[in-house]
């Protein structure tokens, strides 16, 4: 019985391979450049240094209004995310989480605050941000996830020098963590999907000790060593493009499972029909 199924099983596997091959070919095809100007985005981000952020009102994970001014009195780390991001935003958030945990041990857990802002409205609701934080196990009491009203997102982004652009796969945006002093002024912009503890720790310790914080050094060299956009860099073309690999892999895996499930169900039904037919012949 098992050996009789092998030819059909091979056909099923071949069909699955064909189905999986289609998204794989789509993943390997070239995608158009999204057009976000990296140099202009970096200039906009750097222009925010020294700027005092406005008293914007956002909602926390419980839907309660929170003013950014309420965080004054301590240094504040601010990152922008969107919960629909498959890869880069979660990677950046995990990196920030590890860095924050290390900083809490070195400078103390109550010396600074962290805020992640969901800029994709209305999708990044308080409920969506609450689920995002729970998914990645972020429970630090000094870290809040805030949802701004859609109407204030442009002004909020402008205050922080945060640049983003809608794409077919979500958003192309600057990967930055803004460091604010106790007065709510931006003193440093940290870039990249993987954060080095020293990049956040050094200016944070300077703020806590009352030492003036210098602006980012060697910013012009960032393009050669740091990914500053929430897209994938293609060294062959020098362009940043959307990475569809993870959603395609997920879709391919689901497709494979469904095809195989249908295949075995059909084989099981065929076996039952054959058994019934043989039983009817013997009874006759």
Q: Helix 197-209 crosses helix 88-107 at what angle (to 10 degrees)?
A: 40
Rounded Cα–Cα distance for residues 230 and 224 (Å) = 16
- Specify the pairing of strand 57-59 against strand 239-241: unpaired
Sign of the C-alpha dihedral computed for residues 43, 56, 112 and 88 taken in this order: negative
Secondary structure (3-state) at 146: strand
Residue 12 CB coordination number (10 Å): 18
Average model confidence (pLDDT) across the chain = 77
- Is residue 256 very low, low, confident or very high in pLDDT (cuts 50, 70, 90)? low
Higher per-residue pLDDT: 284 or 168: 168
**Per-residue pLDDT at 3 exceeds 70:** no
Higher per-residue pLDDT: 170 or 146: 146
CA of 2: how far to CAs of 9, 168, 264, in Å? 10, 46, 12
Sign of the C-alpha dihedral computed for residues 186, 187, 191 and 195 taken in this order: negative
CA of 61: how far to CAs of 11, 55, 116, 186, in Å? 50, 19, 11, 24
Concatenating the DSSP letter of every residue in 176-198 gives: EEEEE-TTSBEEEEEESSS--HH
Q: Which of 54, 87, 66, 71 is nearest to 147 (CA)?
A: 66
Rounded Cα–Cα distance for residues 38 and 55 (Å) = 28
Rounded Cα–Cα distance for residues 14 and 19 (Å) = 9
Q: Are 92 and 79 in contact (CB under 8 A)?
A: yes
Residue 85 CB coordination number (10 Å): 19
pLDDT in tens, 80-133: 999 988 778 888 899 999 999 999 888 887 899 999 999 999 999 999 999 999
CA of 59: how far to CAs of 55, 95, 100, 183, in Å? 13, 24, 22, 21
Tokens of 49: 């240094």
Q: How far is CA 259 from the centre of its chain?
A: 30
Homologous superfamily (CATH) for 38-238: Glutaredoxin (3.40.30.10)
pLDDT in tens, 203-252: 999 999 998 887 655 454 454 445 555 654 444 444 444 444 444 445 55
Tokens of 90: 């979660």
């Amino acid at each position: 019985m098992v050996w009789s199924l092998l030819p059909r099983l091979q056909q099923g596997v071949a069909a699955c391979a064909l189905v999986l091959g289609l998204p794989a070919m789509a993943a390997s095809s070239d995608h158009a450049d999204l057009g976000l100007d990296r140099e202009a985005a970096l200039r906009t981000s750097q222009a925010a240094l020294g700027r005092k952020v406005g008293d914007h009102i956002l909602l926390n994970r419980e839907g309660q209004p929170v003013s950014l001014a309420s965080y004054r009195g301590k240094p504040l780390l601010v990152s922008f995310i969107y919960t629909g991001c498959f890869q880069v935003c979660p990677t950046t958030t995990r990196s920030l989480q590890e860095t924050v945990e290390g900083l809490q041990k070195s400078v103390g857990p109550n010396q600074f605050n962290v805020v992640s802002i969901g800029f994709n409205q209305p999708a990044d609701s308080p409920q969506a941000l609450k689920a995002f934080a729970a998914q990645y196990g972020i429970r630090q009491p000094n870290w809040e996830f805030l949802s701004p009203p859609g109407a204030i997102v442009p002004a909020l982004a402008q205050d922080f020098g945060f640049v983003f652009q809608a794409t077919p796969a979500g958003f192309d945006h600057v990967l930055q963590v803004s460091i604010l002093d106790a007065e709510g002024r931006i003193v440093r912009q940290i870039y990249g999907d993987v954060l080095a503890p020293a990049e956040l720790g050094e200016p944070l310790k300077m703020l806590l000790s009352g030492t003036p914080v210098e602006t980012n050094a060697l910013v012009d060299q960032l393009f050669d060593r740091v990914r500053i956009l929430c897209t994938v860099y293609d060294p062959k073309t020098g362009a940043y493009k959307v990475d569809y690999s993870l959603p395609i892999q997920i879709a391919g895996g689901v497709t494979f499972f469904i095809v195989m499930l249908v295949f075995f169900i059909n084989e099981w039904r065929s076996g039952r029909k054959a058994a019934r037919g043989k039983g009817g012949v013997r009874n006759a």
